[in-house]
Structure 1
């Protein structure tokens, strides 16, 4: 059934019980449920906070800009919307509490798709101990999903800021592998679609781009174990690392060997995509040697260093205090006299251009 065949109340009657059922069934939402004094159904939600310090963030997914409808699935859209907001709350050292969701969709959109989006969003939030407490439903020419996430800082814990990195710190990431989302995006742009990839590896990368699923609990562990600075990887290690560097007044020196396995894992996919470009251009070379600009290794390295939307956590820890679930990828050091803070790779400037929402 299409949305324009239902009233707004009719749509809500389908999705609200589904979301509430997901939250109530997950024991991780017990604290959040006890904090909701007024939930969906009134003019606004009312929450009982366990701390006077509230952490708030918001983000939007828009059809055509952040996802292509035929290249993803409704459940993936919902899960990704939850993850990108939960990661921001957790990167501040806060415990997620609640999400508020504003969803706009064309009248011809299937009601089942909207139900899948909201159910998946609620389920992913529940895994981090948060619940959906309200929002807005509207009509638009394209699907758009805006989520506002609320979290609380435990008593006595300062927020984890980007400005806390110190020379001598270890730079670490909570992801077992980097670059998967960027590789998945490259597959989408090459024409791959769910269920129609060349092999299981491509299907996995496509799914990770559409619905990255990092272990966000590691951020709470980091906050409990003396992390100095932290943010979520939305724009890649280089661009996000530069945010820490500038905020903290330090240099971050990435260790190239720390990314070797990440690059190796993605190189076969990069090689395949380059071969396809070459075949489509009647044999004209698509790139240079593997490690040179344009080659497969180079492209895989670009995905790892500059690829965004992983939503794992980039963090700086005191030396010798790296907690379980994080791996070292570099170090924090004093900038050279007179130099602006920067991100380096084995002591040299990092080649390639990081992602920018508003670049050319």
Structure 2
């Protein structure tokens, strides 16, 4: 490759030129009063409150460039933050992104990340309003998300009551299946793995299942499923001071079961403890009809903790950063 044709790097382009490049031509959402370019951004807060969440992804720990394209990593970074905002019953309004990267990072990697960040921010209803760009030894992405409650009460993990129905919206287990395919020596070109690989690379939180609820009952408690269904329902149960029993038959996924056979794996474990799908799990008043996109999977009772079909589940319940395997090939996002 000649000197003139080799890819440009971040070092060659420079910080401010790169910032101008990734911001050029972007259209801000209506709630953004002032976007990138000043000392700070300015967001409208018609409700008088903000919901705020932050998350970080580190190369080799949470993503790998040999598994995912930069645009997919960018989308994933926003999706996991937007899901946290929506899980509070708020609409995402703006995202602030801090990026650390080595000086020899190709510019195409950064522009690809930016395209993904903007694409998923738009799908969630917000936009990128600012951030920071620094030199670091590894690629690191930190996102802070802001959301607007629109005058409604926040939906926390603490509102579940005895007799409530436990329900989920979105897929469960498919991101874990994709991770298993990546790490298990599968033929990644085989069509059977396409959906699982896509689910791991770019989670698809069903934002509308929460934000477009019109009339009827609202969830009494809500969380996104990032660390694993049992783990996240455990957080909800602890916050609400109740117990949850999950019905395994309601979670059965024949397609996922067939895929698990190819990898000599347990589909039920993917569903119960896999995490990273960023589905939503919530509780609904007893007898209330569930909105479109939601399916019942269990019931709230007296006591504490989470059981499956009345029994304490065997095996792992989910992900916790400092108790997980110290591996740089897991791809887990927590």
Output the TM-score relative to the length of structure 2.
Answer: 0.90
Unaligned runs of 5+ in 2: 1-7, 326-334
Task: Give the conservation status (yes or no) of the 8 Å contact 1:221–1:323.
Answer: no
Task: Give the conservation status (yes or no) of the 8 Å contact 1:93–1:223.
Answer: no
Query: What are the within-5 Å matches in structure 2 for residues 219-238 of structure 1?
Result: 219-222=210-213, 225-238=217-230
Task: Give the conservation status (yes or no) of the 8 Å contact 1:185–1:206.
Answer: yes
The aligned counterpart of 2:291 is 323
User: Per-residue displacement from partner, 1:102-138 (whole Å, max 9, x unpaired)?
Assistant: 0111112111111111111111111121011100011
TM-aligned CA distance change 1:123 to 1:116, over 3 Å: same
* Matched position secondary structure for 1:269: helix
The one of 158, 161, 173 equivalent to 2:156 is 161
The CA deviation at 1:222 is 4.7
* Matched position secondary structure for 1:231: strand
The CA deviation at 1:48 is 2.2
CA–CA distance in structure 1, aligned partners of residues 84 and 292 of structure 2 = 20
Query: What are the within-5 Å matches in structure 2 for residues 59-98 of structure 1?
Result: 59-98=55-94
User: Per-residue displacement from partner, 1:42-85 (whole Å, max 9, x unpaired)?
Assistant: 11111221111111000011101101110111111010111101
User: Per-residue displacement from partner, 1:164-190 (whole Å, max 9, x unpaired)?
Assistant: 001111100001x31000011111112
The aligned counterpart of 1:186 is 180
The reply to whether residue 100 of structure 1 matches residue 92 of structure 2 is: no
The reply to whether residue 51 of structure 1 matches residue 47 of structure 2 is: yes
The reply to whether residue 254 of structure 1 matches residue 246 of structure 2 is: yes
The aligned counterpart of 1:9 is 16
The aligned counterpart of 2:302 is 334
Unaligned runs of 5+ in 1: 24-31, 275-295, 336-340
The aligned counterpart of 2:277 is 310
The CA deviation at 1:88 is 0.5
Give 1 or 2: higher helix fraction.
Answer: 1
Task: Give the conservation status (yes or no) of the 8 Å contact 1:160–1:223.
Answer: no
The CA deviation at 1:36 is 2.2
The CA deviation at 1:223 is 8.6
CA–CA distance in structure 2, aligned partners of residues 110 and 268 of structure 1 = 40
- Could you say what the CA RMSD is over the residues aligned between the two structures, in angstroms? 1.6
The CA deviation at 1:269 is 2.5
